[in-house]
Structure 1
Amino acid sequence: YIHYLQHRLFDKEGLASRKATRVLIQQIQEIAPDIIHLHNIHDHYLNYPFLFEFLASIDTPVVWTQHDCWAFTGGCMYFDMLNCGEWKSGCKCCPEKRALFGNRSKEQFRLKKECFAEIKNLTFVSVSDWLKGLFEESVQKNRRIETIHNGVDLQTFRPICAKSDKQFKILGVAAVWDKRKGLDDFLKLREMLPKDYKITLVGLTQKQVNVLPDGITGITRTTNVDELIQLYSNANVFVNPTYSDNFPTTNIEALACGTPVITYKTGGSPEAVDDMTGIVIEQGNIGGLVNAIIQMKNNPLLSSACRKRAEMCFDKDKCYEKYIRLYKGELDNY
């Protein structure tokens, strides 16, 4: 809570939590790993300059999986909706207001550049080709950067029931529903689509559920995986009108359950589908989204093709194998 407060007041995200970081460092020292694998380190629980100073001192190979753009910006995770390109040369005064009394984007950009440069054996892994491309334009462009897409458990996420043939069912799933995730676009879709098209949104707050218009069924966030699989499997199409994303796991969960995907051309989201398993629409093109949904109803894509793509490209076990090969390569070159 103190770290979160320092972030919201003084834009010090990643610069507090020294005590918690010491505990982590002590655990790393006790384990003495051959490789250190990092994921998200910017959610108010670590002091990254402190951590990277330690990592530089032990010279252990580090693999760092990137789930957003934070590592090469002055603080923002995504900049699509800001239309900002300062990250390419040096953030100065971020247009995204994150704190009440400060804007440390220039300092954060400098700190990250310096801290990460101290790690000689650092390999970045992107979960999308889109993010890999951004890394290659950023201050981290001279680092090794690989793409390993996210995977899902295909034994869990699988087709368990037939598609609805009485009513065309549209599904949307998000952990948080806001403008960035396309909630407003779903409301517009409801106005433009035929009344017999059913829309179900999963992950809403109860407050959001209470104000939904007729024709949209809202379900609050669920931890019941079986319920989620049922919804994915029964849907005729999964729609993801996201405006800011890296590689949404919901897309590949839908494919694994045999459901085609319609998504905006946002980040790495289009990488989940091909011509046989989905349709990609330009951001904000509600008319195009409507046409794609109607096209999907009139010419449904094969559920088996969706499942096959998930098996070929997004099997978590194959994802693990790629990481193991990466680890072995790092150790061989160490």
Structure 2
Amino acid sequence: MASCRNAKATTSDQPYERTYSVVDGGESNVGIRNFEMRILQLSAQDGGGGAAEVARRLAESFKNRNHDCAMVVGAKRRGDCPAIVIPDRGGGPGAGALALRDAVSPFLGQLRGAGRLHDFLHCLGRPGRLCDRGRGIEDFTLPASHQILDLAPWQPDIVHCHNLHSFRGPKGHFDLTALPALSEKVAVVLTLHDAWLTTGHCAHPVNCDRWRTGCGDCPDLGLYPPVRADATAENWRRKRDIFSRCRLYVAGPCRWLANRVEQSMLRPAIIESRVIPNGIDLTRFTPGDRLAARRRLGLAEDVHILLFAAQGIRGKSYKDFPTLRRAAEGVAARITDRKVLFLALGEEAPPELAGKAEIRFIPYQNDPDILADYYRAADLYLHAAKAETFPTTIIEAMACGRPVVATAVGGIPEQITKETGITVPIGDAGAMAEAAAAILDNTDTVKRMGAAAAKAACNHFDQEKQAESYLSWFREIIGENPG
């Protein structure tokens, strides 16, 4: 993959509709002076997947380019990543409950019941939160958010925020009421990874356009993050009023999300917006020998392997595991030359049968080298999400040379082309099975699509190009807002 990493960047800032610059990696604005910057990254966690992992990788890339970069997080999950935790305690009768909550945090996702205990202690520590939860009000009771700049080891040039979630639980790490004052003191770049900031409660509206005009009468209070009562109109108005006092630079990984932001109550706060696709480590996620990977993982060599990867699978309605299950069953019914093994990577559970297909659950893999081997071991990657922004797993699978069959939702159509995979309608297990079987039925098609997928990942989804795109933009912003 050396040729991929050393490839000359050719893409520069280009206009996108009325307010966007689309940056597809590479060096842009080469006339801007290169200088060291102080960048404060604000994230829910210091890694572990999704937006938090994007923030961590960017922080590492910024440091590798000799910029000062510190991470401030709501919860620390990694021992190898220096990060400053936003305090959520203080004195008073709730301090003990919050201390116990923080002691439970390392066991989230590892011990059964840890999440429920964490949430209980979280609310017990600040009783007002329990009242708000009962009314469906989003939790903005995070007073330390107003002292974010005091937590940094220096005065930053840029505060780079990732998913400023205020909802309860370990991923709620920022009080949005602190944002107007913060954006007055320092340039704030906000990278969106979902649509929560534009809605009255959910991270991804499904078949609902109420977010455009004010929410209320919510059709699905159970969508992540769930609320107990319908205060979505009030939550929407609170966000709108906060954003009306902000001045922000806003980025997103895909045009789909950029268009959504343009139509939302966040729009008046935006100074400038850019589309900067997320990238991955192309020195680790590389094509490799399929049979060798199967031998390393102890998988059979004479089966068709389908793969899906996510942190938690059956419990997340957005991921639509039932459609994946029916699709695997449909593939096994259509292809009879070999058995079909569907690997559901991200959850530990007993194996199941879906018709003639075997479903095998694999615990989430923190080691990227092992994760890359699972992609290489597969023949095909499946992704059936009902709602999605720009899934990292799809570009990881592509980088490892695997074709993708996925639902045409969110930014996924911007990741997959007809040369690298096939997109299908949401919830259509038959279409997904038919597309997967058509690819698997022809070895040449698997190889051709896999090679095209690896090339596309190399050209468009390199984390080093992503980092340089952000740094080029930061230099422009600092030039416009000198200290």
Aligned partner of 1:327 in structure 2 is: 474
TM-score by length of 2: 0.63
Candidates 165, 173, 188, aligned match of 2:326: 188
Distance 1:133 1:40 in 2: 17
Q: Which residue, 393, 410, 413 being the options, matches 1:267?
A: 410
Query: Which residue among 239, 245, 252 is the counterpart of 1:126?
Result: 252
Confirm whether residue 300 of structure 1 aligns to residue 436 of structure 2: no
Asked if residue 108 in structure 1 is aligned to residue 235 in structure 2, the reply is: yes
8 A Cα contact 1:125 1:148, kept in partner: yes
SS in 2 for 1:197: strand
Gaps of 5+ in 1: none
| TM-superposed deviation, 1:46 | 2.1
How far is the alpha carbon of 1:216 from its aligned partner? Answer: 1.2
> For the residues of structure 2 that align with 1:231 and 1:176, how far apart are their CA atoms?
17
The residue type equivalent to 1:173 in the other structure is: A
Query: Aligned runs of 1:27-176 on 2, under 5 Å?
Result: 27-28=151-152, 31-42=154-165, 43-49=171-177, 51-58=178-185, 60-80=186-206, 83-97=207-221, 98-100=226-228, 102-120=229-247, 122-142=248-268, 143=270, 144-162=272-290, 166-176=302-312
Residue 22 (structure 1) shift = 4.2
Q: CA deviation at 1:228?
A: 1.1
- Alignment match, 1:316: 463
Amino acid at match of 1:112: K
* Distance in 1 of aligned mates of 2:172 and 2:460: 33
Change (3 A) 1:24 1:3: farther
Higher Cα radius of gyration: 2
Normalization by structure 1: what TM-score? 0.89
Match of 1:15 among 140, 149, 160: 140
Query: Would you say the 8 A contact 2:190–2:251 is kept in 1?
Result: yes
Q: Is the Cα–Cα contact under 8 Å of residues 389 and 412 in structure 2 kept in the other structure? A: yes
Task: State how far apart, in whole Å, the 2-side matches of 1:333 and 1:305 are.
Answer: 40
Q: Is 1:244 matched up with 2:387?
A: yes
SS at match of 1:279: strand
The AA in structure 1 aligned to 2:243 is F
**1:172 CA displacement:** 0.8
Q: CA distance change for structure 1 residues 170 and 71 in 2, over 3 Å: closer, same or farther?
A: same
Shift of 1:135: 1.1
CA RMSD of aligned residues (A): 2.2
Give the distance between the partners of 2:164 and 2:434, measured in 1 at CA: 40
Q: Secondary structure of the residue that 2:179 maps to in structure 1?
A: helix
In structure 2, what residue type is equivalent to 1:184?
A: P
Q: Distance in 2 between matches of 1:15 and 1:103?
A: 17
Q: Secondary structure at the match of 1:274?
A: coil
Give the CA deviation at 1:327: 0.6
Cα deviations by residue, 1:291-319 (Å, 9 ceiling, x for unpaired)? 11111112324232221111100000000
- Structure 1 position 220, deviation (Å): 1.8
Listed one character per residue, the Cα deviations across residues 115-165 of structure 1 (whole Å, up to 9, x for unaligned) are: 122223x11101111111111222233433211111000001112323687
Q: Contact between 2:343 and 2:362, CA under 8 Å: does it hold in 1? A: yes
1:109 maps to a residue whose letter is: W
Partner of 1:223: 366
Q: How many residues align?
A: 324
Change in Cα spacing, 1:26 to 1:95, as seen in structure 2 (3 Å) is farther
